[in-house]
Amino acid sequence: MGRTKTDHRPLILVTNDDGVTAGGIKALIEVVRPYGDIVVVAPDQAMSGMSHAITVKVPLYLSKIHAEKGLEIYKSNGTPADCVKLALNTLLPKQPDFVVSGINHGINSSVSMHYSGTMGGAREGVLNGIPSIGFSLLDYRADADFSTAIHYSREIFSSVISHGIEAGICYNVNIPKGKGINGIKVCRQAKGRWVEEFDERIDPRGRTYYWLTGHFENHEPEADDTDEWALANGFVSIVPCNIDATHFSGIQKLRESGIGQVSSHNIV
């Protein structure tokens, strides 16, 4: 099991992908601050869509921009995963008790979680054995109202403080915008895909360039146990995400096919 209550004040690492000045990360600090000492390490600019990318071609920088009792805030030129790596390996005096990422400006349900820098930060936490959660609000506006998101995020984080998270699992939490939320629903990830579209344009030098657009296509709109259904029906969705990507039933199928058996032919 992940960590539960201890006899010390927890150390909580906060990150995001919208940047250190985003309204969502300020809301997340408010969510977790009653529960422990906070260290924020977040990108110095928006890093949406970075997934679990790490920086290997340029140096990484880390600058403290705020400090007060129980709260330190740092910015970095790295991705969300970089920020967590930097915090764990160069900054923090000990491993944090929790990693929380967000609150993202925009949805990260279904397959979007694979593209999400918010979830990349959470995954980096759980890869290091730390209970981790990614929070997202279904509102892309820079001035989004996070008041309801704060309430439900705090309810979920309080539960994690009390009960822990299973090892190797992180939580993907998505919250509808607005006040009329019907509650919290534990879900599975909906099957679907992003239908990619590229808006073709010509720059002033005559070169063709493209802006990525597109829309999400839900492949099971009638299923009532998915995150997409929960959000469409006014529920906060929680999906436990497994870091181990092994498809275990596929192991037996491969074995039955003969792949992996000792070959009678030598490979030259």
pLDDT for 54-80, tens place per residue? Answer: 999 999 999 999 999 999 999 999 999
Q: What is the pLDDT of residue 2?
A: 42
pLDDT for 1 equals 39
State the average pLDDT over residues 179-192: 94
pTM of this structure: 0.90
Q: What is the mean pLDDT of residues 205-213?
A: 92
pLDDT at 264: 54
Burial code (b: 16+ CB inside 10 Å, e: under 16) for 42-54 equals bbbeebbebbbee
Q: Which of 45-49, 142-146, 162-166, 215-219 has the lowest mean pLDDT?
A: 215-219
pLDDT in tens, 29-63: 999 999 999 999 999 999 998 999 999 999 999 99
Q: Residue 258: what pLDDT?
A: 83
Instruction: List Cα–Cα distances, 162 to 7, 101, 186, 188, in angstroms.
Output: 13, 19, 17, 23
Strand partners, 166: none
pLDDT value at position 6? 46
Which pLDDT band holds residue 200 (cuts at 50, 70, 90)?
very high
What pLDDT score was predicted for residue 136?
Answer: 98
Q: Is the pLDDT of residue 130 over 90?
A: yes
Q: How far apart are CA 139 and CA 97, in angstroms?
A: 29
Which CATH superfamily does the domain covering 11-189+223-257 fall into? Survival protein SurE-like phosphatase/nucleotidase (3.40.1210.10)
Q: Where are the beta strands (DSSP E) in 121-256?
A: 132-137, 169-175, 183-186, 192-202, 208-218, 235-242
CA torsion, ordered 177, 183, 188, 189, to nearest 10 deg:
0
The residue behind tokens 């705090």 is 154
pLDDT score of 265: 58
pLDDT at 260 over 50: yes
Give me the residue label for tokens 């990349």. 120
Residue with tokens 């469409």: 232
b/e per residue 215-245 (b: at least 16 CB within 10 A): eeebeeeeeeebbbbbbbeebbbbbebeeee
Mean of pLDDT values over 11-18? 97
What integer pLDDT is reported at residue 262 of this predicted model?
Answer: 59
Question: Residue 266: exposed, middle, or buried by beta-carbon count in 10 A (0-12, 13-18, 19+)?
Answer: exposed
Count how many residues are written for the chain.
Answer: 268
